Amino acid sequence: MESGESLGLSTAAVVAIACNALVAFLLLVLFLILYKACKVPSSQERAPVLAVPTGQTQQIGEHKYLLTS
């Protein structure tokens, strides 16, 4: 070997390793978030958010009538 040769990693190799480590860390965080989100039980007993209770439908109709006349 010549005495002028560099045995270390090139700058491009160091940048590639750093980028791959960052991507691996972000994937780990993503899978951790997905794991925690899937672990939360879904409640089947809740009423749909867009459903209007029966007592309020008449009030909404009255408000529409009052606003349109």
* pLDDT tens profile 6-36: 668 899 999 999 999 999 999 999 999 999 9
Q: Measured between alpha carbons, how far is residue 34 from residues 29, 37, 38 in Å? A: 9, 5, 6
Q: Which residues contact 60 (CB under 8 A, 6 or more apart)?
A: 52
Q: Is residue 27 part of a domain?
A: yes
Q: Is residue 67 part of a domain?
A: no
Q: Is residue 26 part of a domain?
A: yes
Q: Is residue 15 part of a domain?
A: yes
Q: Is residue 47 part of a domain?
A: no
Q: Is residue 2 part of a domain?
A: no
Q: Is residue 59 part of a domain?
A: no
Alpha helices for the chain (secondary structure H)? 11-39, 54-68
Higher pLDDT, 49 or 25: 25
For the whole model, what pTM was predicted?
0.48
- Split into its structural domains, the chain has a count of 1
Q: What angle do CA 67, 49, 54 make, to 5 degrees?
A: 55
Q: Is residue 48 part of a domain?
A: no
Question: Which domain covers residue 30, as residue numbers?
Answer: 9-41
